[in-house]
Amino acid sequence: MFEYLAQDPVRFKNFNGAMQAKTAQIILPYDMFPFKEKLGKIETTDDTSLLVDVGGGNEQVTVDIRELCLGIKGKMILQDQPQVLDGITASLPGVEKMGYDFFTPQPLKGEWQLSPFPHIIPANISGILTYYIRRCLHDWPEDQCNMILKNIAAATTSNTDL
């Protein structure tokens, strides 16, 4: 479907506009998750990648999550097909765009050490802290959904030696 849409710029633009309108009409599930509370417990820098929005579309959710996390150092990365990202003309403070096909290995890696104490946030964290995906899997059959999720899972590693 997406290959077909990409061949017709008008339909592609209309599709992206419809997806953005749909996002604006629904209850925002990311607003229910305590991103600021969870990410605020971790010592970060301006170079820390707080979140990767996989298949994030036209930027609105990534920008909204970034705004929910005001005061937390770091950046968020919006991943989608290059032709989707090319259509974004708005300034995205604290958000970087990255062309990515989620059927290929995830190039951004996450690594953290787990603590044996659940109330303590791990101190040794590098790479991506959060992978976020929404409204992507419903477009694909089960085997392709599994591939998408395996690509994300393969990018995460954990060290349980603590």
Catalytic residue (choose from 70, 138, 141, 161): 138
- Residue 52 in contact with residue 77, Cβ under 8 Å? yes
Q: How far is the C-alpha of 88 from the C-alpha of 155, rounded, in Å?
A: 26
Specify whether 138 is catalytic. yes
Exposure of 68 by Cβ count < 10 A (0-12 exposed, 13-18 middle, 19+ buried)? middle
- C-alpha dist (Å) from residue 14 to 17, 132, 147, 155: 5, 24, 28, 33
Q: Which active-site residues does the annotation give?
A: 138
